[in-house]
């Protein structure tokens, strides 16, 4: 596994590639996770796109991903990729869209296991009442990302 770092408006991101695509993005550096820091075309492309996103010049990512998850998780992540920049959905809406209307909590679990936040925009999922809910990077980062995209929400 190869990794590299990107300084952003929300802090340093660690981007990982397995040589087939981006497989993980961490908000915080994890010294216990072994990876080789080096050059990789997928990481270079991901860093370029993330820079443009944070500069307000990119609204849709086209990053080569190679991620692992259950079929259910992958269906949720695929649905998240359909939420456009500047828009949001609720957990219940995502559950309905994947044909599992009673799976709101399971959708939340899939979001919690999202290996590539921002690229797969789990920050665009909010509570049914319009409020912010959990986020792996912490609510201040979720709030920043939503405001960056011009999304109104309840605090």
pLDDT score recorded for residue 31: 66
Same domain for 21 and 84, yes or no, is no
Q: Are residues 143 and 75 in the same domain?
A: yes
Q: Are residues 43 and 84 in the same domain?
A: no
Cβ atoms 89, 125 nearer than 8 A? yes
Round to whole Å and give the CA distance between 114 and 144.
18
Does 60 reside within a domain?
no
Residue 12 forms part of a structural domain: yes
The total number of structural domains in the chain stands at: 2
Is 91 within the bounds of a domain?
A: yes
Q: What letter does residue 122 receive in the DSSP assignment?
A: G
Domain that holds residue 119: 71-148
On whether residue 45 sits in a domain, the answer given is: yes
Residue 155 has pLDDT above 70, yes or no: no
- Exposure string for 130-140, b = 16+ CB within 10 A, e = fewer: eebbebbbeee
Domain CATH for 144: 1.10.10.10
Is the full-model pTM beyond 0.85? Answer: yes
Residue 135 pLDDT level (bands cut at 50, 70, 90): confident
80 & 138 share domain: yes
Q: Catalytic: 122?
A: yes
Q: Tell whether the model's pLDDT for residue 120 goes beyond 70.
A: yes
Does residue 62 fall inside a structural domain? no
- Give yes or no for a contact between 15 and 47, defined as CB atoms under 8 angstroms apart: yes
Which one of the listed residues 3, 23, 46, 122 is annotated catalytic?
A: 122
List for the chain the helix, strand, coil content (%; round to 5). Answer: 35, 20, 45
Is 50 contained in some domain? yes
| 86 inside domain | yes
Residue 142 lies in a domain: yes
SS3 117: strand
């Amino acid at each position: 596994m190869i990794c590299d770092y990107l300084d952003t408006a929300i802090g340093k991101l660690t981007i990982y590639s397995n040589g087939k695509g981006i497989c993980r993005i961490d908000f915080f550096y994890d010294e216990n996770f072994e990876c080789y820091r080096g050059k990789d075309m997928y990481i270079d492309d991901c860093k370029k796109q993330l820079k443009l996103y944070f500069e307000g010049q990119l609204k849709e990512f086209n990053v080569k991903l190679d991620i692992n998850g259950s079929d259910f998780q992958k269906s949720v992540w695929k649905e998240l990729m359909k939420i456009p920049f500047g828009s949001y959905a609720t957990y219940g809406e995502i559950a309905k869209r994947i044909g599992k209307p009673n799976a709101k909590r399971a959708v939340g679990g899939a979001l919690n296991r999202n290996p590539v936040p921002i690229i797969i925009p789990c920050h665009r999922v909010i509570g049914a009442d319009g409020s912010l809910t959990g986020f792996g990077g912490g609510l201040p980062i979720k709030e920043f990302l939503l405001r960056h995209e011009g999304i109104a929400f309840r605090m």
